[in-house]
Amino acid sequence: MQELTDIEIKELKIDLDKKVGDLSFLGERLKLIREELKSQGDITCSKTEIVNKIVFGTKNDRMNLARIESGKYGNLKNIYKLIFFYYLKGVNPEWIIIEDNSKIKKYIKKVSLC
């Protein structure tokens, strides 16, 4: 098997970075979903403290959710847990993570853990 040159690796990285772009849209979408579910009467999304307690196991540190929704911070596990939390509520994870989601359904069938 042929090895990649440093130049090829650099070009692939640049291409990937262009395709991925700025990931701040993830936080914006997660906030939009929470606010939308809240407006629909979903009690688990009515306050950031409740979301923090359910998803992250804490109600004292409201910054977990705020950091993720601002698009500035958030570890992969917490972002995944939040996306999965909304998936259980019927939100399509693809709609959240694909930047050009214009052809992707926002909602899918609700999922049950049981």
**What are 70-104's pLDDT values in tens digits?**
887 778 898 999 999 999 999 999 999 998 999 99
State the Cα–Cα distance between residues 31 and 28, nearest whole angstrom: 5
Helix axes 76-88, 63-70, angle to 10 degrees: 90
Per the listing, tokens 């693809």 go with: 94
Residue pLDDT, tens place only, 13-34 = 998 888 777 778 999 999 999 9
Q: Give the lowest-confidence range in 5-9, 63-67, 93-97.
A: 63-67
Task: Tell how many helices (H) and how many strands (E) occur in the chain.
Answer: 6, 0
Using the predicted structure, report yes or no on whether residue 114 has a pLDDT greater than 60: no
Q: What is the average pLDDT across 41-64?
A: 84
